[in-house]
Amino acid sequence: MTSVSVVGASGYSGAELLKLLIRHSGVRIDRLFANTSAGKKLADVFPTFNKTLDVTLELYSVKSISKSDLVFIALPSGEAMNIVPGMLAAGKRVIDLGGDFRLQDTSLYEKYYKRTHSAAQILKRAVYGLPEWNYSQIKSAALIANPGCYPTSAILPLAPLLKEGIIESTGIAISSLSGVSGAGKSTSLEMSFAEVNESVRAYKVGVHQHFPEICTILTALSGTTPSLSFVPHLLPITRGIYSTIYANLRKDVTAETVCAIYDKYYGKAPFVRFSSTTIPEIKNVSYTNYIDIGFRVNQEDKQIVVLSAIDNLVKGAAGQAIQNMNIMFGFDEKEGLK
């Protein structure tokens, strides 16, 4: 059994992680950590765990993870960088669900996350945990930067098209729609039910911290630097991300060509489903680790529209983290994610 601990177990991603870990046949939950909820029972924070997981949340210290093989971090961005160096020094393997280790360039981090990076010295050891592209580095990684939810929904559909050169690298537009759980637990008026319900709004247009993640990872994976617009929107749903991506075609391509490209990159990927005929819907991926990809080629105007759907808490966070753990520790990639 692999022994795992979770730092940040009282947030939505942490809770989702625990639900998946409970079902995993090869894992033993070691210890759970939280800040303001330390000292409480997990079931007092999330009554859904009552009778299922009887654990008390603790304040984190590096000593307390001495028996863990793996530590998941599900803290707000900016907090992981303070504790990961100590974890690595203690020889632990780490999967961070936050944004602290996704941007190798600290100046980008500082521009978009509005804070100084305090652990730049370990950035080189971080592997971007997108299993469909970085499988072998993940296998041996000490530190996984688990991808952001928006980037997962945008990079998986775009990277093959850019790498194969069938779309222009300029003029790409990504319109992404997210459920509110992506923002984590919130006490702000603007996330209250009465403000979110029966409405929609774009937010952080041009300044969202996932924008540089999408750009730099696409560049790394495809060898091409894209120029793109990214607009996230908040929807009155709890879970799910839907991305609608517009790009200009460089070549005359058919739907079959596009399918063949996706098949080349994802034909064996257990959690990528693509189709030239089915339009993705969030409900088809809810509570699963799948990403659904659809598209429509408009040869007349030399444009393509690509659509994707994920569950932001699963493939966009906790599920992808489990998938990374499975690869790191030699489990079946689908274990715990059926």
Tell me which residues in 166-205 interact with a second copy (CB under 8 A): 170-171, 173, 175, 177, 179-181, 185-189, 191-203, 205
Select from 98, 90, 102 the least CA-distant residue to 66: 90
Please report how close the Cβ of residue 278 comes to a second copy at its closest, in angstroms.
6
Residues 220-249 that bind a second copy (CB under 8 A): 227-229, 231, 233, 235-240, 242, 244, 246, 248
Instruction: Give yes or no for residue 1 binding a second copy (CB under 8 A).
Output: no
Instruction: Give yes or no for residue 318 binding a second copy (CB under 8 A).
Output: no
Please report how close the Cβ of residue 24 comes to a second copy at its closest, in angstroms.
10
Please report how close the Cβ of residue 226 comes to a second copy at its closest, in angstroms.
10
Provide the sign of the torsion angle of the four alpha carbons 269, 158, 135, 76, taken in this order: negative
Residues 6+ apart with CB under 8 A from 102: 126, 128, 145, 147, 148, 151, 213, 217
Number of other residues whose CB lies within 10 A of the CB of residue 246? 16
Q: Which is nearer to a second copy, 51 or 63 (CB)?
A: 51
Please report how close the Cβ of residue 258 comes to a second copy at its closest, in angstroms.
14
Helix (H) or strand (E) holding 144: strand 143-145
Q: How many residues bind a second copy (CB under 8 A)?
A: 76
Residues 30-69 that bind a second copy (CB under 8 A): 46-48, 50-52
Please report how close the Cβ of residue 257 comes to a second copy at its closest, in angstroms.
17
Cα separation of 260 and 247, whole Å? 18
Q: Which is nearer to a second copy, 49 or 101 (CB)?
A: 49
Residues in a beta bridge with 243: 176, 308
Residues in a beta bridge with 231: 175
Q: Which is nearer to a second copy, 68 or 286 (CB)?
A: 286
| Residues with a known catalytic role | 149
As given in the structure block, the two tokens for residue 180 are 């509110």
**Interface mask toward a second copy for 271-290; x: CB under 8 A:** --x----xxxxxxxxxxx-x
Residues 6+ apart with CB under 8 A from 71: 4, 5, 6, 7, 65, 87, 92, 93, 94, 95
